[in-house]
Chains A and B, each alone.
Chain A
């Protein structure tokens, strides 16, 4: 039983093979790598489609039972799928069809269970690709990633924090089904497709409701499909690296590259993160020893028409700017070729997820920063780590320009030994305090997970108040993933 729901009701909706209440399964969904305390759900249900989700929401509303949607496979890191109030976990990973890929309109429609590798393979056949987050884990759902507003690595195609998400079908907390943006109508999706639409336009007349479901950690509605905007596969690519101890010089160069739209992929990693990614199954620490402190990676691309010519002109312009910024460009850094960085960062992480390679566990801190805030926050983090006995060497740094250079996603990856209880507790305390210090230094936690929402909404009580009003419209009984964010 869970809030009055019994197994039979769930079996009637989803079928007996898709309802789980054995201890092993419930335990698996009760916790993740984050510091949130575990809590077992009463059931795990694997729905096969929208109508089952609607039916589940109906009985959940009648019985006030929490529903927690999850699309990716383990390991989870952010506490967002830990059912803080128990209830039912809806595992959508079995809904995994690629519904269409359209080359003409550069778009694909996918269900929540679709993962990056299979989508990329389908797109490649059509000469396209999806700009993806830095080396995501193999089990990460594309829909999940889009709903979490994870940034991808190509700032010039990252026009908005929503990207690459376009439209979605959502079952609101009320049980009503809605299609966002152009997909709302007139007519069904089939009618619209026949007429020539491809569910690409994100806005409704006076709202852009998809933005409420992104960043909501499953608290507003359950998404059953999305469309994602794809880009053409480059015809030629020229990846390059720049490295050194001077973060500010590299940042200046990165800023100019992005501002002038000279490159496709562009980001900075420190030696720890680069080693964790590039070591694959090798020794991360040994590789880190050979790498410089900061590494900037970027790639100049040419497309279908005169690709070599484009690359050579842009490379020339890039080299002039590099000179101005006092930055040297290299094809390889400490034996690590730029080609390899392009290859491994642009696809899901095979084998062990890179964040787990160095010490077995990892706590991420990520935030949006202004340009000036990046170096300041790195400094703050290093000082804090020094004072609190965290080995700076074990904290990776990733700087990603977002929205065409309008802001930066900064990520600190604290690698630690997950199974060592004392170390875990120390990292947990440090994580919370460091986030508070960073917030005071201009780090904007746009996606507050696990332990952070309280501190974030305390700071912005008005936003919290407005969000609760909006939530009361879409999920009046607070059925969906209660306890998360400010709900």
Chain B
């Protein structure tokens, strides 16, 4: 139900943001509802999420955000932030939600070269930020979703997996000070900012509230609005501007001014253990600038222009490429240092029986992949959405230790092949692993990506069944259950109305109701929570403290 224009709530919201920055037009509001993963959460066969917002407002400042939040609290409405809006969770998950589209808050407020941070608003994209940073010899971690995503949304509210996690950190690790409009409308200036001491840290005074702000993932719109944050930035030894041209592959950019202190190496290994060993050794020797994996099926998806091209390219390349690999970009202060790092890499390959994938070291692949590792660009979105329009990972993403990585990857490849053979999932040969390395090789982050057709309910459900199987195996064999995987498995089993009920459960409901009640209303929590020492109960207790009127929209999972 849209807000009546005559209602007091609507009038107050309009007064805050101005006539031109509020709408209840169903056509416009539906654009916020048609979402990636909509087929899993809403009706099968299309991407509409189950619920339309009450209204969409476009606040232009923290003050306006705060006032909107207070109006929502006052009138029993809920609210949810939307930055670049690439993820379904930016859509309403409960009834009565006002969407705050933050696109007017799009400024880079400061680039501080000495303390190495960039102070940004929610609608600043990675490409916007990275271009400005490179001008002053700096760089930022770019989420592998693509350079068109909000840098703030990923760091404060979303995920954060990207090639730069190798030495620039993951998620919370990339954040310094944060300005957070809490669900009750209070503004928390987290860390040094609250003491009037600038943006240099978000930890303290005393216990760090970053601990309740995000974990592996963020609040995903479920606990207030982040209106500004300082993101850590890092030294960039490359050119101040990346000159690209579009001719190498149809539709793909290549890096044309690649200097001689930057080089990409695509490496293969005979088995997963040796690959994990090599990754750790690269980290221990402290070489490399960014790192990641794109298994051959996925790499071909990314390099193909059209579906027909994909079929041809797969025919040509799949068997020519090794299956177990990772890619590392060396970017050093000098040519001499690059040569040294290359010698170290060669020694690691010698010790682990690895080698270079010569084909990908050559043009045009070399330039395209190098550019992707630095800038991300649109290649990854193209790879995972270009063929069928929907993707996710089985198992859902998380970081794992060295002994787990290969087993997790191979387990999901085997399970996936069956559905590919049935023609229900995009045929990447089962080998769609994407991953990154955290904290100079301390941990490895793995996703085995699966693409399906969201317009075909059977295809959507094939992905859900695969997810169920993977979840079962990972619990049994690896003492692991991914939260995203559980979300997919459980949410797809429910009809959209139950989904809404689930999200409306308060913490006290959850704590006080019996286990069966919890199971009936919140299969996700009922399944994952007890396996993680009732983590969900503590989370909800904290959220209840911060959001006494339950006015933030629910946060999945």
> Which residues of A are interface residues toward B (Cβ below 8 A)?
104-106, 149, 156-157, 159-162, 177-179, 184-187, 191-192, 194-198, 200-201, 203-217, 219-220, 229, 231-232, 255, 259-261, 303-306, 309-310, 313-314, 316-317, 368-373, 403-407, 439, 442-448, 453, 456-457, 459-460, 462-463, 465-467, 469-470, 472-474, 485-486
Contact = CB atoms under 8 A, between A and B. Distances in A.
A438 to B, nearest CB: 10
Contact of B479 (A106, A161, A195, A469): A195
Given A156-B286, A255-B114, A469-B546, 20 more contacts: A161-B203, A177-B533, A185-B532, A196-B404, A196-B478, A200-B401, A211-B210, A215-B204, A259-B235, A304-B285, A305-B348, A370-B114, A371-B115, A407-B115, A444-B198, A469-B545, A470-B542, A472-B545, A473-B542, A485-B206
B523 interface: no
Contact of A212 (B208, B216, B478, B532): B208
A370 B116 CA distance: 10
Contact of B114 (A309, A313, A371, A474): A371
Contacts of B348: 305
Interface stretch (B120-128, B165-173, B375-383): B165-173
B208 A317 contact: no
Contact of B206 (A217, A255, A316, A368): A217
Interface stretch (B5-13, B24-32, B188-196): B188-196
A447 B206 contact: yes
B478 A195 contact: yes
A1 B191 CA distance: 40
Contact of A407 (B200, B209, B212, B557): B200
B215 A310 contact: no
Interface stretch (B54-62, B92-100, B334-342, B365-373): B334-342
B491 to A, nearest CB: 15
Contacts of B280: 104, 106
Contacts of A205: 215-217, 483, 528, 532, 535, 557
Contacts of A303: 284-286
Nearest to A474: B538
A203 B533 contact: no
Given A196-B407, A211-B208, A457-B205, A463 B481 contact: no
Contacts of A465: 186
Contacts of A485: 205-207
Given A255-B114, A443-B197, A213 B173 contact: no
A315 B316 CA distance: 47
B203 A406 contact: no
B152 interface: no
B207 to A, nearest CB: 4
A260 to B, nearest CB: 5
A306 B216 CA distance: 36
B192 A446 contact: yes
Contacts of B234: 259, 404
A414 B401 CA distance: 44
B352 to A, nearest CB: 12
B203 A206 contact: no
A207 B478 contact: no
Q: Which of A210, A261, A439 has the most CB of B within 10 A?
A: A261
Task: Give the most central of A208, A229, A373: most B CB within 10 Å.
Answer: A208
Chain B interface residue bracket vs A = 35 or more
A309 B232 CA distance: 31
Nearest to B407: A196
A211 B207 contact: yes
Contact of B173 (A159, A313, A466): A159
Nearest to A195: B479
12 contacts: A160-B169, A185-B531, A205-B535, A207-B535, A208-B210, A261-B235, A317-B337, A370-B115, A403-B232, A447-B204, A463-B209, A470-B207
B384 to A, nearest CB: 22
A303 B285 CA distance: 6
Interface string B354-365: 000000000000
Contact of A215 (B207, B232, B398, B475): B207
Interface in B209-224: 209-212, 214-220
B333 interface: yes
Interface in B126-162: none
B387 interface: no
A310 B340 contact: yes
A444 B206 contact: no
A96 to B, nearest CB: 25
A459 B195 contact: yes
Contact of A204 (B112, B196, B479, B532): B532
B324 interface: no
A407 B337 CA distance: 27
A206 B217 contact: yes
B76 to A, nearest CB: 22
A412 B112 CA distance: 26
A401 to B, nearest CB: 10
B344 interface: yes
Nearest to B544: A473
A54 to B, nearest CB: 14
Nearest to A471: B207
B535 A204 contact: yes
B205 A463 contact: yes
Contact of A470 (B186, B407, B545): B545
A471 to B, nearest CB: 8
B399 interface: yes
Contacts of B513: none
B74 interface: no
B252 interface: no
A220 B207 contact: yes
B479 A306 contact: no
B78 interface: no
Contacts of A259: 116, 234-235
Contacts of B400: 197, 201
Of A220, A305, A403, A447, most buried by chain B (CB within 10 Å of CB) is A305
A470 B513 CA distance: 22
B48 interface: no
A201 B398 contact: yes
A174 B556 CA distance: 27
B531 A467 contact: no
Contacts of A453: 205-206
A261 B237 CA distance: 11
A444 B481 contact: no
A190 B207 CA distance: 29
B439 interface: yes
